[in-house]
Amino acid sequence: MTRSDGKGSVAIVGAGPGGLAAGMLLAASGLKVRIYEIAPEIGGRTSRVREGAFSFDRGPTFFMMPYVLEEVFAACGRKLSSYVDLVRLDPMYRLLLGRPGLTPRPLDATQNIAEMARRLGEINAGDGLAFHRFIEHNRYKLRHSESILRNPMRSPLDLFAPGVIVDTLKVAPVLNPHLSVHDLLSRYFKDPMVRLAVSFQSKYLGMSPYDCPSLFTILPFIEYEYGIWHPIGGCNALMHAMAKVAEELGAEIMTSTPVAGLEFAGTACRGVRVGGAGPLAGTVQNHEHVVLNADATWAMKHLIPPAVRTQAGRGYSDGVIDRKKYSCSTYMLYLGVDGEVELPHHTIYISEQYRQNLEDITTNGALTPDASVYVCNPSRIDSTLAPKGQSSLYVLAPVPNSKASIDWATAAPMMRERVLDQIESKLGVSLRSRIRSQTQITPANWQAANINFGATFNLSHNLGQMLHKRPQNKLAGFDNVYLVGGGTHPGSGLPTIFLSAQISSNMLCKQAGVSYAGHKPEVRAISQTRAMLT
What pLDDT, in 10s, does the model give residues 269-289? 999 999 999 999 999 999 999
What is residue 435's three-state secondary structure? strand
Element (DSSP H or E) covering residue 413: helix 408-426
pLDDT at 416: 98
**Closest residue by Cα to residue 95 from 200, 2, 210:** 200
**How confident is the model at residue 530, as a pLDDT?**
66
pLDDT band of 520, cuts 50, 70, 90: confident
Binning pLDDT at 50, 70 and 90, where does residue 355 land?
A: very high
Q: With a cut of 80, say whether residue 88 has pLDDT above it.
A: yes
Percentage above 70 pLDDT, the chain: 97
% pLDDT > 90, the chain: 95
Quick check: 523 pLDDT over 90?
Answer: no
Amino acid at 376: C
Q: What is the mean pLDDT of residues 13-42?
A: 98
The two most distant CA atoms of the chain are separated, in Å, by: 69
Instruction: Report the length, in residues, of the chain.
Output: 534
Using the predicted structure, report yes or no on whether residue 521 has a pLDDT greater than 90: no
Give pairs for 504-508: CB < 8 Å, separation 24+: 504/22, 504/291, 504/473, 504/474, 505/21, 505/22, 505/25, 505/26, 505/29, 507/152, 507/473, 507/474, 507/482, 508/10, 508/26, 508/31, 508/289, 508/291, 508/474, 508/482
CATH numbers and ranges of domains, the chain? 9-86+233-323+459-533 (3.50.50.60), 112-226 (no CATH), 328-453 (no CATH)
pLDDT, average across residues 208-234 = 97
pLDDT for 522: 79
Confidence of residue 531 (pLDDT cuts 50, 70, 90): low
The CB-side HSE value for 298 (13 A sphere, CA atoms) comes to: 22
pLDDT at 444 over 70: yes
> In the prediction, which pLDDT does 529 show?
65
> Which range has the worst mean pLDDT, 2-11, 125-134, 354-363, 452-461?
2-11
> What mean pLDDT is reported for the chain?
96
Q: Which residues pair with residue 73 across a beta bridge? A: none
Query: What does the pLDDT read at residue 1?
Result: 37
Say if strands 32-36 and 9-13 run parallel, antiparallel, or are unpaired.
parallel
Res. 40: pLDDT tops 80: yes
Q: Smallest Cα–Cα separation from 333: which of 416, 448, 424? A: 416
